[in-house]
Amino acid sequence: MKRRTWRRFTDHCSCVLSAWTLLCSCLFVPVRTDGVCPSSCACTGLTVTCLSDGQDIPTDIPAWTSTLILHGRNVSTLPQGAFTANGSESEIRTLRLSHNGIRVIEPYAFLGLPRLHLLDLSHNQLETISSRALHGLPELRSLYLNSSVSPGAAAQLAHALNADSLRNLHRLELAGNRLTSIPLERLDIYNLHALVLINNSIESIERENVSSLYQQRRTRVYLALNPFRCTCELEVFYYWLKNSSQCADAGRLLCSEPEARRGVPVEKLRGEDVDCLNENLEAVSYVFLGIVLALIGVVFLMVLYLNRRGIKRWLNNIREACRDQMEVYHYRYEQDTDPRLANVAV
Ligand SMILES: *[C@@H]1O[C@H](CO)[C@@H](O)[C@H](O)[C@H]1NC(C)=O
Ligand SMILES: *[C@@H]1O[C@H](CO)[C@@H](O)[C@H](O)[C@H]1NC(C)=O
Ligand SMILES: *[C@@H]1O[C@H](CO)[C@@H](O)[C@H](O)[C@H]1NC(C)=O
Ligand SMILES: *[C@@H]1O[C@H](CO)[C@@H](O)[C@H](O)[C@H]1NC(C)=O
Ligand SMILES: *[C@@H]1O[C@H](CO)[C@@H](O)[C@H](O)[C@H]1NC(C)=O
Ligand SMILES: *[C@@H]1O[C@H](CO)[C@@H](O)[C@H](O)[C@H]1NC(C)=O
């Protein structure tokens, strides 16, 4: 009897105790305790949005932030660890930085963002991109760089994108950058599903790049709004377009050069339109024609040379005949201008 009450009592105690711990832990769980919304930003849920009223990057980004949006601010340079306080790691998964006038990305700018999935750097004016700008982003899936890369920075971008840590990259968008080639040194280091290159200045994609595309069967490429040069240089690319079905918008690719093919869909070209052998044959036939004409000329000159006596005689005859004729004319003229004849006429 006594024992049972004691048991009940201890049960009761432990129950109360656990309730207390639960309550306490509920009260003191560190939800958003280490960061209030920065003064120049708006916070909803785990999203922090900082619009144009402030300058630069806010220094007091709360640690709980999952989506950070900066828009219309005057950022100009992204320094090392731009989004994390001194060596700490951030929970940010989505980082949207479009329209911020960013010109320079320094090495390790995105340090401390190991969970970053999406990075949007569209509509900036990138002039200097460190080759280590994109280091330390092992979870990055989508990278947007639409209308953002200055022509001089394309090669730097290629170096920056050649980072082993980008192995999970699924989607790379590079629309509207006046690129003349694919700014990737290799394709096998990523896991690319979509490579968007629409609205650039690509005239053709060369053999080497086409063969790397063939090797990445999974990659779909978007190439509309590029000024394709539909000469025989396009041959390798043309067959890739026809055979691989890797180009997701193949029907929308148009020729821009030469003049005669402007506006013609690249897909609608015939094999012989881009056949280099054909074109070479044409050139060869012109050379051949030239040689034949030259030979005929030489033969002609030789004939002239061998016949020079006869020709001389012939020329003399002609001259003689001409002189006779002239004399006849002369005679007639004199008769026509005879003053006596003129008087008769009056
Ligand atoms: C942006 O900041 C730079 C200095 O960092 C300044 O020279 C420039 O005028 C600013 N531009 C605007 C639009 O605020
Ligand atoms: C950064 O952290 C190091 C130690 O990890 C410390 O010595 C340094 O003062 C910190 N700097 C800033 C700006 O907080
Ligand atoms: C450019 O990037 C944005 C992300 O900011 C994306 O939604 C959009 O589809 C891209 N635009 C083009 C033309 O590809
Ligand atoms: C193509 O890109 C340029 C910037 O490079 C942009 O101004 C233009 O609007 C884009 N055109 C289309 C059709 O998206
Ligand atoms: C594309 O071609 C260029 C020049 O031939 C080469 O440097 C580059 O690595 C190639 N890129 C890919 C992805 O094949
Ligand atoms: C592509 O297809 C054409 C005919 O359709 C063929 O002649 C050519 O060899 C093919 N090229 C490749 C690389 O598969």
Please report the DSSP string for 41-55 in residue order: EEEETTEEEE-TTS-
Q: How far is the CA of 87 from the centre of ligand 2 (A)?
A: 8
34-169: which CATH architecture? Alpha-Beta Horseshoe (3.80)
Choose which residue among 182, 215, 221 to substitute to test ligand 5 binding: the one with the highest number of ligand atoms within 8 A of its C-beta: 182
Nearest ligand (C-alpha, residue 56): 1
**Looking at residue 1, what is its pLDDT?**
47
Mean pLDDT calculated for residue range 8-33: 50
CA 239/CA 232 separation, integer angstroms: 11
Query: How far apart are alpha carbons 268 and 274 in whole angstroms?
Result: 11
Ligand 5 site residues, Cβ closer than 6 angstroms: 182, 184-187, 206, 208-209, 212
* Residue from 86, 88, 89, 111 whose mutation best tests the ligand 2 pocket (most atoms within 8 A of CB): 86
Average pLDDT over residues 130-154: 93
Per-residue pLDDT tens digits for 200-256: 999 999 999 999 999 999 999 999 999 999 998 899 999 999 988 899 999 999 999
Could you state, in order of their start, the residue ranges of all structural domains in the chain? 34-169
pLDDT at 240: 92
Q: Strand order in 220-222's β-sheet? A: 41-44, 47-50, 67-70, 94-96, 118-120, 142-144, 171-173, 194-196, 220-222
What is the average per-residue pLDDT within 41-50?
91
Q: What pTM does this model have? A: 0.73
pLDDT score, position 47: 92
- State residue 29's pLDDT score: 41
Res. 279: pLDDT tops 70: no
Alpha-carbon dihedral sign for residues 100, 184, 94, 26:
negative
Give the residue whose CA is nearest to atom 9 of ligand 3: 173
Angle (nearest 5°) at CA 187 between 186 and 191: 145
Q: Of 102, 88, 164, 103, give the one whose Cα is nearest residue 132.
A: 164
**Span 114-123, mean pLDDT?**
95
Average pLDDT over residues 10-29: 50
Distance in Å from the first CA to the final CA of the chain = 176
Output the CA–CA distances (angstroms, integers) from residue 45 to 48, 49, 66, 67, 132, in the order listed: 8, 11, 9, 9, 32
What separation in Å is there between the alpha carbon of 239 and the centre of ligand 6?
Answer: 6
Report residues whose beta carbon is within 6 angstroms of any ligand 1 atom. Answer: 74, 76
Q: How confident is the model at residue 7 (pLDDT cuts 50, 70, 90)?
A: low
> What proportion of the chain, given as a percentage, has pLDDT over 70?
83
Asked whether the predicted pLDDT for residue 107 surpasses 90, the reply is yes
> What pLDDT does 27 receive?
46
Tell me what pLDDT residue 346 has.
47
pLDDT, one tens digit per residue, over 322-336 is: 788 878 767 676 666
Ligand closest in space to the Cα of 236 = 6
Query: Whose atoms come closest to the Cα of 99: which ligand?
Result: 3
Ligand 4 midpoint to CA 255 (Å): 18
